[in-house]
Chains A and B, each alone.
Chain A
Amino acid sequence: MSTVRKPSYLVDGIAQVGACGLFLLQILAAIPSSLRHIKETIRQVWFVGAMSLTIIMTCGLFVGMVLGLQLYYVLSIFGGTAALGTVVSLSLYRELGPVVTALLFAGRAGTSITAEIGLMRATDQISAMEMMAVDPLAYVVAPRFIAGVIAMPLLACVFNALGIFGAHLVGVSWLGLDNGTFWSNMTSSVDVWKDVINGVWKSVAFGAVCTLIATFQGYTTAPTSEGVAYATTRTVVFSSIATLALDFVMTAFLM
């Protein structure tokens, strides 16, 4: 890096993507040996998953309530408020649930993963592990990656359930939509595989991407406090961009 070279953002960006891809392969290769540290994986599921429940549930409730209000208003223009349950559930399952969960996850869990691994790097803990022949990929990175992939779809399902509850609260209890109409329209037009399970696949992919970016940024951070700060910022920015871009691609090809 000390050589005189004109900075090329494009080449640097491509190099980053390539390094990230290689890092993913390394993580996947390290997963079998990380299974020996299953307790660490469980602790990480608790940390990135269970500890994120509060924010996910609160946000899911409010997103559902806002969807209920807004869509009720729009549908009442066309006299179609009976379709409220259908529209809310489809938009939650197919788009909002996986995407908003991934964005919240990047902010809540991704940043802490980056900061933790980045500080390990900055304080030479990772070098120390390498010196003691402990593979840091298997002991530090892979458990967090597995935990992210497991936790994200579960969080998205909780988000969706709370969203439906919020929409029901607003639409039925507050705005006076008929309870039976709400549910029967929803059940007759939502499909398990096409809507619910496809959304789950989406959030599995988002979980992999978000935790990959978070661990990669932490692992390759500049070993200074400033470097950790930059890495944490980049985690949120890149995770959000990657989530939304991947969402478009998956929607275009899978749904």
Chain B
Amino acid sequence: MAQRQSFQIGTGLFILLGFAALAYLATQTTSVANFSQGDSYDLKARFTNVGQLKLRAPVKIAGVRIGSVANVVLEPDKLDALVTLSIDKRFSKIPDDSAAAVFTSGLLGDQYVAIQPGGSPDMFKNGDEVILTQSSMQLEELIGKYLVGSGDAAKNAGDKAAGADKDKPPAKP
């Protein structure tokens, strides 16, 4: 009987250990760990382009996370993106002339919403809209602008290259 009980206890401990490991993996090493949501309030912001902004992307002030993106939808009549930001209740003193911008962490990293505090004495309340917004910078657009801005030079360079190709005798087979 003692023998039987000892292996039953061992089995129980083993199963508990296994589930403890699973719980540890699931809660401490995944995005659930970032999800410790206390009370929060919602702000809305319109962007003409949100880029690759995803649900649950962080919302930051001065680089510190204060909340997350709760929803991204297209407004059918205005055709711009309406982003709902879920901000932690602890950070309830954000001036109502603050600006929101979609930034990228690093050159090619994930995108997040940065809020630059304004100077108004009034604070944002639940459901308010952030008026001043700045859309995400698209790398392709920037490159495009650069190419258009130096269009002539690029064109000349292209022509020169083409001309050079023409002038060149055909390569020997």
Contacts and interface: CB of A to CB of B under 8 A. Distances in A.
Task: Please classify how large the interface on chain B is, using the bins under 10, 10 to 19, 20 to 34, 35 or more.
Answer: 20 to 34
A216 interface: no
A190 B13 CA distance: 28
A188 B110 contact: yes
Given A42-B8, A46-B11, A188-B110, A53 B31 contact: no
A154 interface: yes
A39 B10 CA distance: 13
B48 interface: no
Task: Please classify how large the interface on chain A is, using the bins under 10, 10 to 19, 20 to 34, 35 or more.
Answer: 20 to 34
A190 B31 contact: yes
Interface in A30-48: 39, 42-43, 45-46
Nearest to A41: B11
Contact of A42 (B7, B13, B28, B30): B7
Interface of A: 39, 42-43, 45-46, 49-50, 53, 89, 93, 150-151, 153-155, 157-158, 160-161, 164, 183, 186-192, 195-197, 200
B55 to A, nearest CB: 12
A186 B29 contact: yes
B7 A93 contact: no
A150 B19 CA distance: 11
Interface in B19-56: 19, 21-22, 24-26, 28-34
B4 interface: yes
13 contacts: A39-B4, A42-B8, A43-B11, A45-B14, A50-B10, A50-B13, A154-B18, A161-B24, A188-B34, A191-B30, A192-B31, A195-B30, A196-B29
A113 B15 CA distance: 20
A189 B30 CA distance: 7
Contact of B25 (A45, A46, A93): A93
Contacts of A187: 28-34
B106 to A, nearest CB: 10
A197 B26 CA distance: 8
Main secondary structure of the interface of A (DSSP, over half): helix
Contacts of B74: none
Contacts of A155: 18
A53 B32 CA distance: 27
B25 to A, nearest CB: 5
Contacts of B26: 192, 196-197
B161 interface: no
B153 interface: no
A192 B32 contact: yes
A133 B153 CA distance: 93
Contacts of A192: 26, 30-32
Contacts of B28: 187
A154 B14 contact: yes
